[in-house]
Amino acid sequence: MSLNVIDLIKGQLGPALVSQAASQLGESESGISKAIGGLLPAVVGGLANNSDNPAVLDAITNASSSGILGNLLGGSENNNSWISSLLSLIFGDKVNGLVNTIATYAGISNNSSSSLLNMVTGATLGSIGKYASDNNLGQSGISNLLGEQKGIISTLLPAGLSLASLNLGDWAKGYKFDNDDDKVKVTSHEEPKIEVTRSTTPTGTYPDRNDGGGGSIWKWLLPLLLLLAAGYFLWKQCNKKETTTTTTTSDSAAVSSDTAAVSTTDTAAATATTTKVDESIDLNGVALKGYKGGMEDRMISFLKSDGYKNAKDDAALKDVWYDFDHVNFKMGSSTELEAGSQGQLDNLVAILKAFPDAKIKIGGYTDKTGNEASNVKLSQARADFIKAALTKAGVGAQVLGAEGYGSKFATVDAKASDAERAVDRKMAVRFAK
C-alpha cells in the first residue's frame, strides 16, 4: 500500500484539539482521545468501502476548498448537514449503533460521541481532499487511494474494539468484514470449494464419514489448527524475549541537553533492571519510596559524591538529565497528572530541601506525532506546571528554569505503536548553576 491515509489525518487531531474538544463537550481528555481512536479507523473504513460511490468522491473533492479543516469543532450548519448526510450514506441505519458503541467504549455521552463522529469525519474528508488536491489526484485516484485502505482497517482499531463490536460487520461493497475475526474477504455467492484428499480405505468401511457434509469438518478444523500453531509460535517468541532481556539503561537512550541530544549514563543507570521494584532510598536518614537506579537514587548519589559542588559551571551539568519514573500527565493535558505522580514530585522537593544549594531545570518532551508547534506548546506548559508545583512546595528558588522541547529529541518513529512512543513522552530534570 502506498499510503496509510490515517497518518494524514492524525495531524489534525492532536493534543490541542483533544483539549479543546474536552473543554467544549464537558468530557475528560482521556475519553475524547479514546473515542477518536475508535472513530478514526471506522470512518476511514466506511469511506474505503464506498470508494466507488460518486457522492463520496464528490464530498472528498469539494472538502479541500470548504475550509472545514480550519474549524473542526465549530463547523458551519451547512458543513454539519452534509457531513451528517454523508454518514447516513456510508453507514445507513448503523450510525446510531456506532455512536452508542463508541460512547460506551470511551465513557462519554452519546451527544459527545455524535459530535466527535462529525469532527473526525470532517477531518478525514478535509485531509484526504487536501492530499488529493496537492497531488493532483482526480476522483479515480481518490477511489484507488481509498480502496488500498480496506485490508488494514481492522488492524488499526484500538484494543477493546472490533468491527463486529461496532456492528459494522456487513459493509458490502465488493468486500465485507467478517463478524468473527474482522478479516477482509471477497463477497461470493458460492461456498468456497475445499479439496480434500480421501484415504484409500476399502469400500464400505467409512465409520467416520459424514454423508451429508463430506469435507465440511475441515472448514473449521484447518483454521483452528493454524490458529493454534500461530499462538504457540507467538508464545515461544515472547517467552524467548523475556528470558533474554534482563537489563536496560535509564536515560541513556534519550537523555537530552539544552542544545543537542546527548546520550549519557552512569553506573547506577546502566545496571537498572527492567522490572522497577519500589524500595526505600536513603536521603540523609530519611527513607524515600523509589527504586535502585531510579531518578531519586541517582540524584542523591550525585549530590553526595560532591559532583554538583565540584561542577565549575552550568556547562558541566547540562548534558545529564534525570527522567521522572512516575510523573505522567493525562493525555493532552498540561494541568492534570496521572494517579501516582505526586509521590515523585514530593521526593524531588525533599531532595532539594536536603541540599538547599542545589539548583535544577525542568524539561518537557513529546513524541513525534501531531503538530510540532502544538507539541512544543504542550511540553512547555507541562514543564511550567512542574516548576509551579515545586514553587508552591517551597523550593521555587532552586528551580532556575523550565523548557518544553516538543519532539525535538524524540527517537521513536511517529508510525510506531503508542506503547513504543511512550518513551518519548516524558518529563525530566537536570542540575544547573
Domain spans in the chain, listed from the N-terminal domain onward: 5-184, 267-432
Band the pLDDT of 274: cuts 50, 70, 90.
Answer: very low
- % residues pLDDT > 70 (the chain): 69
H or E element at residue 402:
strand 399-404
Q: Residue 331 above 90 pLDDT?
A: no
Between 131 and 235, whose confidence is greater? 131
d(CA 431, CA 233): 47
pLDDT at 166: 59
What SS3 class is residue 22? helix
What is the arithmetic mean of pLDDT over 319-328? 90
What is the predicted pLDDT for the residue at 236? 65
Cα→Cα distances 392→23, 346, 384, 388, 399, Å: 26, 11, 12, 6, 12
Three-class secondary structure assignment of 79-141: HHHHHHHHHHHHHHHHHHHHHHHHHHHHCCCHHHHHHHHHHHHHHHHHHHHHHHHHCCCCHHH
Residue 173: predicted pLDDT:
37
- Taking the C-alpha atoms of residue 16 and residue 396, their distance in angstroms, rounded to an integer, is 28
Which class is domain 267-432?
Answer: alpha beta
Most confidently predicted of 2-11, 204-213, 393-402: 393-402
- The single residue listed with the C-alpha cell 516524558 is 426
Report pTM: 0.41
Judge whether residue 78 has pLDDT over 70.
no
| 184-190: average pLDDT | 37
pLDDT digits (tens, 9 = 90+) for 352-364: 999 999 999 999 9
Which of 325 and 206 is assigned the larger pLDDT? Answer: 325
Note the pLDDT of residue 217: 61
* Strand partners for 323: 428
- Residue 69 gets the label, from left (phi > 0), alpha (psi -120 to 50) or beta, of alpha
